[in-house]
Amino acid sequence: DWLDHPGTQSLCAAIEAAGHRALFVGGCVRNSLLGVPVGDVDLATDATPESVVRIAGDAGFKTVPTGIDHGTVTVIAGGEPHEITTFRRDVETDGRRAVVAFSDRIEEDAARRDFTMNALYADRRGIVLDPLGGLPDLKARRVRFVGDPETRIREDYLRILRFFRFHAAYGDPEGGLDAEGLAACAALAGGLDVISRERIRAELKKLLSARDPAPSVAAMAQAGILARVLPGADPRALAPLAHLDAVQPPRWLRRLAVLGGETADLRLSKAETRDLSALRAALGSMETPAALGWRLGRALAADALLARAALLETPLPPAWQAEVERGVAARFPVTAADLMPEHTGEALGARMKQLQARWLASDLTASREALLKGRDKLPRLR
Ligand code: ATP
Ligand code: MG
């Protein structure tokens, strides 16, 4: 239905009327053919960025020169941003990122793309153009490099991670990874060291957000790639987690928590770091679903319980969702006023913490009275 968007259609019509091609490319074409939701809609054209700005402007659209040096112009049509990129070809590379030049040939533009399933185009009538024979690969759900895998990886080592990411998201869940591609990734794994941590983090997030990352991550471990991006990670709990993911929508942080490994290099955001350490701590604890719900909130509590079940290979606790909800809704029954004036300052804080721990240990059932009356120490064993 994104294809039928009136803004998109009139934008493409304007580019065509100026004697140029306006083609959908990449993820939107691939996903539409697979029948899965489309993320961003990208367009490719043989018109130069300057021409795109002029044509779109003349047709009354607002344009933003987002990355005119890279050949990308953003055009707002029908209230939606459209990224239009001029056909490009690879000219040289330092392995960190391919350097590109403009081209007026779709074959050249297709040839610089990473995988055949990402090199599919469609015009505004929905006619698919497949300059490299990507359709059979897409049908077989085979992630295959465009051209020689080793050559393509040397141009941009991030493509190693993209290979596993696209397999996790769109590959054949029953079949393995393309053998030639996998061998090339393993042989050139060391090249990942030159890639910026930001690009690695972005790919890793997408990989761990995919339908079932377990087979891809296991293959990454075997090929010596996992250790380079997540040192110390252990992929074994990912497969049992994937089964549990049917219960709750998959979340990449939950998968990362189960994988373990050193994440300092990934430079996660403050919030992500905080959530990840909360999750990791909860994994090693015996906290009940209600206690987790109260302490961490609904989403993280579910993450912790699913991850723990996967790691320990135990079933989820009975009625865990209802129990998490009970925790989310619960209110700690003691207030500071209850403890004053006997306790003040630091002692007040410490006493609150102590009563909270006791309340959590009672699975949130201890009443205010019981907590306030309760003995400070457990009875001594004789
Ligand atoms: P998603 O739905 O995950 O966004 P996508 O196919 O749109 O998938 P992007 O990373 O947004 O993936 O890239 C858009 C397109 O640009 C790809 O389909 C591919 O053709 C091309 N591309 C992106 N990154 C590279 C790269 N590192 N090397 C070669 N081609 C690339
Ligand atoms: Mg995209």
Residue bearing the CA closest to ligand 1, atom 28: 114
Predicted local distance difference test score (pLDDT) of residue 246: 72
Tell me, in angstroms, the distance from the centre of ligand 1 to residue 122's CA: 16
Say which ligand is closest to the CA of 38: 1
Q: Inform me whether the pLDDT recorded for 377 exceeds 60.
A: no
Predicted local distance difference test score (pLDDT) of residue 254: 94
Query: Is the C-beta atom of 165 inside 6 A of ligand 1?
Result: no
Tell me, in angstroms, the distance from the centre of ligand 2 to residue 204's CA: 15
Residue range 206-240, pLDDT digits in tens: 999 998 899 999 999 999 999 999 999 999 989 88
Query: Is the C-beta atom of 26 inside 6 A of ligand 1?
Result: yes
Predicted local distance difference test score (pLDDT) of residue 244: 82
Note whether 1-137 and 140-229 share their fold. Answer: no
**How large is the average pLDDT for residues 120-132?**
97
Predicted local distance difference test score (pLDDT) of residue 379: 53
> Which atom from ligand 1 is nearest to the alpha carbon of 165?
3
Query: Is the C-beta atom of 120 inside 6 A of ligand 1?
Result: no
Q: Inform me whether the pLDDT recorded for 92 exceeds 70.
A: yes
**How large is the average pLDDT for residues 50-65?**
94
Tell me, in angstroms, the distance from the centre of ligand 2 to residue 25's CA: 10
pTM above 0.95, yes or no: no
The class (CATH top level) of 140-229 is mainly alpha
User: Would you state the structure tokens that stand for residue 5, as one six-digit string?
Assistant: 């968007």
ipTM: 0.98
Q: Where are the domains of the chain?
A: 1-137, 140-229, 235-330, 333-373
Instruction: Say if residue 81 is preceded by a cis peptide, omega within 30 of 0.
Output: no
For residue 350, name the pLDDT band (cuts at 50, 70, 90): very high
Mean pLDDT (the chain) is: 93
CATH architecture under which domain 1-137 falls: 2-Layer Sandwich (3.30)
Query: Is the C-beta atom of 309 inside 6 A of ligand 1?
Result: no
Residue bearing the CA closest to ligand 1, atom 2: 27
Q: Inform me whether the pLDDT recorded for 275 exceeds 60.
A: yes
Predicted local distance difference test score (pLDDT) of residue 374: 77
Residue range 310-329, pLDDT digits in tens: 999 999 999 999 999 999 99
